[in-house]
Homo-oligomer: A and B are copies of this chain.
Amino acid sequence: MAAETTAADLRDALDEGRLVQASTLLAPLDVDDTIEALYRLPRAAQAVAFRLLPKDRSLDVFERVDPALQRDLIETLADAEVAAVFAALDAEERVRVVEELPAKVAKRLIQSLAPADRAQTAVVLGYPAGSVGRRASPEYVRVFADETIGAALDRVRAQPNDDESLYTLPVVDRQRRLVGLIGLRELVTTPGDELVGAHMGEAIQVVSDADEEEAARECLDHRLLSLPVVDHEDRLVGLLRIDDAAHIIDEAHREDAARAGAAEPLTRPYLLTSVFTLTRSRIVWLLVLAVSAILTVNVLEIFEATLDQMVALALFIPLLTGIGGNTGSQAAVTVTRAIAMSEARGRDIGRVALKEATTGLLMGTLLGAIGFTVATLVYGIEIGWVIGLTVVAICTMAATVGGAMPLVAKSIRVDPAVFSTPFISTFCDATGLIIYFTIARAVLHL
């Protein structure tokens, strides 16, 4: 509310070059309100407003805005300003910013870092995109199993970084191999002369090239404040923090939701996304679907003579294809979720298909009975039989196919979310029409 009014006032102030007033408007806002106000400004004004922020807040704001706005800011601000913000970021955040930038700008920025920061950034950039190594923080405090609790606590005190990952400390041996985990609380409550090794807990770990989403789920499942990331020799290379894990999972769900709706995820807030970008994120999928839907035209052409004999059959086409599409996507969504939760895998395909076929048959029988009754009352017993039997057959087919498809996708290593709702609808449409006209010809002797 406040942010909206402020954004309107801000825009006026910036438009007319009243920078002192703009600065006064920004001063009382907290980080959230600042971000909301920024998003409501036109692109050119965003960089000016950002530059007017108090220095400590500008870093918080930069860290929290979308990658697209980060890129815009970097491209608009002066080199020295950018370098200052960039140097203040954590290594893994720096990499996320760099990923969004043109290679030339990215290279210049990395060159602007102090040698130690540059080395750390290069290490993180060395992990493949989408791996947990990219998301793990290389800045952490580690303690040694063979040192005393007192010495370990001194290491924590000596660390200038006030990161949350400090609360779960990885314990390593002298070869930097991870051997355990110890909480800061354990350090505080244990006599200082005892050994870390005697009080540490079991080490849960992931390898740096593991998929970021699987690692994040591991972190959340075990409710770890930070999950140690190691190389293939078990040497510690970083920590995945629980807040980053939560953001990875959140982002993965959003991408799935976008793909389930046959659109690519957007990189900037909706209202700031141009019509061209929106179109681009959808048109490819829509084209794929439209081209595959041409199949339904071909199927209907085969039955054109039957349709000509009895035009009333056309009336039920959208109803029947709708039921098939919906049944198929219900099954697909349920099974896709089961795969994501590791509740079902490739080899379960037989059990899943059987379960879905039975479910589809049960639903089809219930719906088909209703369809038979209604169609008989309105159009007579023959059409009643056609509709009733078609609904039973289509529901069984659609549920089976919808349930099996995500597992097929999984076993040929395609993202199950790609076999999305509309894709399955299109498939079920064509098959459903064949079922419909085959039953109609048999029952009506056409």
Residues of A within 8 A of B (CB): 32, 39, 64, 153, 156-157, 162, 164, 166-167, 183-186, 188-189, 220-221, 223, 225, 242-243, 245-247, 249-250, 253-254, 256-258, 260-263, 266, 269-271, 275-276, 278-279, 281-283, 285-287, 289-290, 293-294, 296-297, 300-301, 304, 307-308, 311-312, 314-319, 321-323, 325-327, 329-330, 332-338, 341, 343-344, 348, 351-352, 355, 358-359, 362-363, 366-367, 370-371, 374, 421-422, 425-426, 429, 433
Contact = CB atoms under 8 A, between A and B. Distances in A.
Given A254-B337, A329-B261, A167 B184 contact: yes
A246 B223 CA distance: 10
Given A300-B314, A326-B262, A164 B319 contact: no
A242 B241 CA distance: 11
A283 B361 CA distance: 12
Given A343-B270, A425-B325, A316 B297 contact: yes
A61 B162 CA distance: 34
29 contacts: A167-B225, A188-B188, A220-B243, A225-B225, A225-B242, A246-B246, A253-B254, A257-B260, A257-B333, A257-B336, A261-B330, A261-B334, A266-B334, A270-B337, A270-B338, A271-B344, A278-B355, A279-B362, A279-B363, A283-B363, A283-B366, A286-B330, A287-B367, A293-B323, A294-B374, A304-B311, A308-B311, A329-B422, A425-B425
B297 A319 contact: yes
A337 B273 CA distance: 13
A337 B225 contact: no
Nearest to A185: B166
Contacts of A343: 39, 269-271
A248 to B, nearest CB: 10
Give the number of times this chain occurs in the complex, counting copies.
2
- Across chains A and B, which 3 residue pairs bring their CB atoms closest together, nearest first? A261-B333, A270-B338, A253-B253
Contacts of A426: 322
Contacts of A253: 250, 253-254, 257
Contacts of A269: 338, 341, 343
Contacts of A250: 220, 249, 253
A348 B271 contact: yes
Contacts of A271: 338, 343-344, 348, 351-352, 355
Contacts of A262: 326, 329-330
A361 to B, nearest CB: 9
Contact of A184 (B185, B278, B338): B185
Contacts of A359: 275, 278-279, 282
Contacts of A335: 270
A198 to B, nearest CB: 16
- Which one of A184, A245, A246, A338 has the greatest number of beta carbons of chain B within 10 Å? A246
A358 B32 CA distance: 31
